[in-house]
A = this chain, B = another copy of it.
Amino acid sequence: MRISQLSAESGVPIPTIKFYLREGLLPQGEQTSATRAEYDQSHLRRLRLIRALLEVGRLPVATIRKIIEAVQDEETDIHDMLGTAHYALSPAPEPAPDDADWRDAREMVDHLVADLDWDRVQPDAPTRDELAQTLVTLKHLGMPVTRDELLPYAKAADTLVREHDIRKIPLDGPRDTAVEALVICQVLYGKAFDAMRRLAQESESARHFGFRPSDDCAGVTPRKGPEA
């Protein structure tokens, strides 16, 4: 297909497609004349992946380029390729402070990882630091968390991932679609879970305390949250 049709089918404007071509995110089409190139289904799939990384994952173009290099390089096995995408989606952790609260929290995370049999998680995975940082923040805000309090949340996360998340990654199709599914699943199921937690909280507040959101609440303009 020509670039105009690629644009129509993908919904991505032609100037944006040309930008992706220049940046090397999208492979060049097959040149059929001096002014004309042909594109195929692989270009459509790649455009879907780029949009998922940009709009769902909200990743910067430089990070997307690294993921796409992993997708394109057939030497990278699918597991390392998914790992590259997975780490790219994690928020950058704050630099770890060297204080007792932080060391305690980091130690609790390491124990939790062992308790849950998550021992294949790399010892220096940034996600460990990220969780430790959240525990330190909770402590500083006067709501310290014990390992026993954290455990049911960790077990719920573990069950959802093992029994459900992992089935949503198609490993037998094109490499683009596996990475696309991983990004979409991680970001959007996270968003859906957060909304369901708030639904459960509203219901449980009502059940416990007889609270019903009053008309007054209509006066509170909910913030415009970061979309993800």
Chain A residues near B (Cβ < 8 Å)? 48, 52, 56, 58-60, 62-63, 66-67, 70, 76, 78-80, 82-84, 86-93, 112-113, 116-122, 125-128, 130-131, 134-135, 137-138, 141-143, 145, 149-150, 152-154, 156-166, 168, 171, 180-181, 184-186, 188-214, 216-217, 219-227
Contacts and interface: CB of A to CB of B under 8 A. Distances in A.
Nearest to A149: B164
11 contacts: A48-B142, A59-B223, A82-B209, A82-B211, A90-B198, A130-B195, A142-B180, A152-B164, A157-B196, A158-B196, A186-B198
Copies per assembly: 2
Given A209-B82, A222-B91, A199 B52 contact: no
Contact of A224 (B82, B91, B142, B222): B91
Q: Which 7 A-B pairs give the minimum distances between C-beta atoms? A: A91-B225, A79-B211, A120-B206, A118-B203, A161-B200, A79-B209, A157-B196
Given A153-B160, A211-B83, A181 B143 contact: yes
Nearest to A90: B222
A83 to B, nearest CB: 4
A27 B107 CA distance: 41
| Chain A residues touching B, majority SS | helix
A197 to B, nearest CB: 4
A120 B208 CA distance: 11
A113 B199 contact: yes
Nearest to A73: B216
B83 A213 contact: yes
A92 B162 contact: no
A119 B93 CA distance: 39
Contact of A193 (B56, B157, B208, B211): B157
Contact of A86 (B84, B141, B198, B223): B198
A140 B195 CA distance: 19
Contacts of A150: 192
A117 B134 CA distance: 31
